[in-house]
Structure 1
Amino acid sequence: MKMLKCSIAAAVAFGAMTVSTFAQDVTLRFHQMLPPQATIPAKAIKPWAEKVMSESGGRIKVEQFDAMALGGKPPELYDQAKDGAVDLIWTVIGYTPGRFPTTEAFELPFMMTTGEATSRALQEYCEKNCMDEFSDVKVIAWHAHGPGLIHSKDPVNTLEDMNGLKIRGGSRVINQMLEKLGATPVGMPVPAVSEALSKGVITATTIPWEVTPALKVSELVKNHTTFSGKNGLYTQTFVVAMNKASYDALPDDLKKVIDDNSGMETAAFFGRVMDEGDTAGKAIAEKLGNNIIVLDEAETQRWKDAAEPLIEGWEAEMDGKGKDGKALVEEARSLVDKYSGNM
């Protein structure tokens, strides 16, 4: 009888341990806007998810949902994470204009260098300056893409070629920049670019090389305009974010897995993946025999001069929000220089 009681007690204890272990297993749903073959879902999100699953010993499962498979539109992704409709998202910060103003310093003209260096700079900057704007989610990382450029049906060789050009812009600041350069900006999320080019809604678009293969942009246009010097025309900023309640519900050891895959090195990884995607995207355009234009230093300076009032205006706008706009721009530039080294 004594042995039977011990056996029952052991069985109950084992059962409790098993239930407890299974109770700590979790499935996280990761939602984003691009098709699965695009650079970020294939080369960044998928490896990140696999690393999290491996380091959790299989106790975290990440299910990846691409191309808005769970519904909604790209500008709704951040709120899907905030509200708990999904657990994790990757999105363009600028898809919700004015909501995260402090991050916009990195979208200003000729601020960025490479995806990786600018992502490191953005991560450090946001950890210091942007936490209040993202307080309703658990931020995994902020990052940026490589040098933004102009892809157009007709060649853009000079600043004058921008006059009246119907061109897609991906954020409030980028649209304002395009206006300063003489163009007519048309705002839209990146998944809409291919159809808009095909139907003539736009005749040009601003995106990095990295995303052109997934959108077939090099087949839809034959001209690509880039700039001299180390700074690209623009970048867009992105966030990988997690629902706070989903994170808070994890046991401490699984929180550590998420934490270990958050922050500076994760930001750098996403930026580096986009740099590598730029190389691949440009190679496709070259193979197609497209016209790749590199504006010389004098012409590039004309574009910088034309865009300068936007920077001054943004600084004044931030001052009106109680932030030191000039200090934010100077800090962003300093951090980009810091992480860009001797480029």
Structure 2
Amino acid sequence: MKMRSLIATALVAALPGVACAQEVTLSFAHWLPPTHPLQPTGFEPWIESIKEASGGRIAIDIYPAQQLGAAADHYDMARDGIADIAWINPGYQPGRFPLHAIGELPLMMSDAKSGSRAFDAWYRTYAPEEMSDVYYCMTHSHDPGTFHSKEPVRTPADIAGKNVRPAHATMARWVSLMGGASVQVPAPEAREAIAKGAADMITFPWGSIFIFGIDKEVKHHLDTPLYVSSQAIVMNKDMVEGLPDDLRKVIDDHCTPEWTEKVVSGWVDAEAAGRQRMIDEGHTLYKPTAEDLAAWRESAAPLTEEWMASVNKRGIDAQAAYDAYVASLREAGALMGEN
């Protein structure tokens, strides 16, 4: 809540016969470039809807491109009030959010629009405990991504001996299981890692290869919805709890499974369009056979076992949580292999 907002409120309240209508200006930090499609198609319409629903009393200023802090620090920035609102990738802090990490398991989500709504609805059961030091708003996933490489990649055997920039901790573990080595850098630094030879391939959704300028570095692509990376919007808890009841309701009404699908839909479409652009620009796409997919699934099987073990350690029934997640995706028509 900005100081100018507090001063303005105090001055209005001091005028005789004038009711106080508190106004707030909030900061929203994310680490994507401002040209990323999620800002104009997702963040900005969401912010405008909040402004309209509040009668203009809530304004939100966007701070993109790591202006307020590094990508991996955005959760703590919201917790500590460095930003009022932050867009985070929980996978940038491995082990901290084990339940949320179910969204990182490969070969599960096939449709990121309805899948994001399903994931968000499922995670709301667990967010109050796992993200207890912030106000949890929503979770969404990008359009399913895959491997993009300097050399052909068709089966898990092609990962052995390669350096891979993974999307998150679960993908890093998968790369290790397949005999590769992970090069851990945030998305904004991925192009440099590949251009300088520190990484041979990357896991990204299709459109982001162009957004981050990596299309000149990788020409071979595994053509299947292999994984998603799941992000969340969280807010400073004291800020939200300090809002008047009517403004708090505006925030609550904009932090729902329905809104998570609205926010992510434009980004999903933009990412999906990148696949055809790859084809148009002469890149090589390899469609895995049923045998190939079985090999990918077999190589990924330990990841689910490890996820369950990490969740059981928190005193939560991992099998029940997993089954509920699968059921939520299935109901939304977003479970891979069933739509």
Aligned to 1:53: 51
Contact 2:118/2:257 (CA < 8 Å) preserved in 1?
Answer: no
Query: How many angstroms does 1:126 deviate by?
Result: 0.9
Find the partner of 2:259 among 266, 287, 293.
266
Partner residue, 1:100: 97
Structure 1 residue 39 displacement after superposition: 1.9
Secondary structure of the structure 1 residue equivalent to 2:137: strand
The residue that corresponds to 1:115 in the other structure is: 112
Q: Which region of structure 1 is more displaced relative to structure 2, 295-304 or 38-47?
A: 38-47
Partner of residue 173 from structure 2, selected from 157, 161, 176: 176
Q: What is the total number of aligned residue pairs between the two structures?
A: 325
Question: How far apart, in 2, do the equivalents of 1:17 and 1:219 lie?
Answer: 65
Contact 2:42 2:264 (C-alpha < 8 Å) held by counterparts: no
Deviations 1:212-265 (A, max 9, x none): 2220122221111122xxxx3221111101111211222122112212211111
In the TM superposition, structure 1's runs of 4+ consecutive aligned residues that sit over 6 Å from their partners are none
- Which has a greater percent of helix? 1
Q: Distance in 2 between matches of 1:213 and 1:294?
A: 21
What are the superposed Cα offsets for residues 95-120 of structure 1, whole Å, 9 maximum, x if unpaired?
Answer: 11111111111211212111112211
Q: CA deviation at 1:130?
A: 2.9
TM-score (norm 2): 0.90
Other-structure match for 1:198: 195
> 1:223 is matched with which residue?
220
Partner of 2:7: none
Q: Contact (CA 8 Å) 1:180, 1:310: kept in 2 or not?
A: no
Instruction: Give the Cα–Cα distance (whole angstroms) in 2 for the partners of residues 330 and 36 of structure 1.
Output: 38
Give the conservation status (yes or no) of the 8 Å contact 2:127–2:136. no
Structure 1: stretches of 5+ with no match in the other structure: 1-11
Question: Between the two proteins, what is the percent identity of the paired residues?
Answer: 32
C-alpha distance in 2 between matches for 1:121 and 1:183: 32
1:61 is paired with a residue whose SS is strand
Which of 218, 232, 238 is the matching residue for 1:239?
232
Q: In structure 2, list runs of 5 or more residues that go unmatched.
A: 1-11
3-state SS of the aligned residue for 1:253? helix
The structural deviation recorded for 1:321 is: 2.8
Question: Contact conserved, 2:143 with 2:268, CA < 8 A, in 1?
Answer: yes
Higher-Rg member (1/2): 1
Q: Does 1:209 align with 2:206?
A: yes
CA contact (8 A) 1:27 1:63 kept: yes
Q: Distance in 2 between matches of 1:221 and 1:179?
A: 21
Q: Hey, what's the Cα distance between the residues in 2 that align with 1:13 and 1:331?
A: 50
Structure 1 19/220 Cα, relative in aligned 2: closer, same or farther at 3 Å?
Answer: farther
Alpha-carbon distance in 2 for matches of 1:211, 1:78 = 22
Contact 1:157 1:295 in 2 (8 A): yes
| Cα pair 1:166 1:204 within 8 Å, conserved | yes
- The residue that corresponds to 2:159 in the other structure is 162
Partner of residue 138, structure 2: 141
**1:38 positional shift:** 0.7
Q: 1:241 to 1:157 in 2, by over 3 A?
A: same
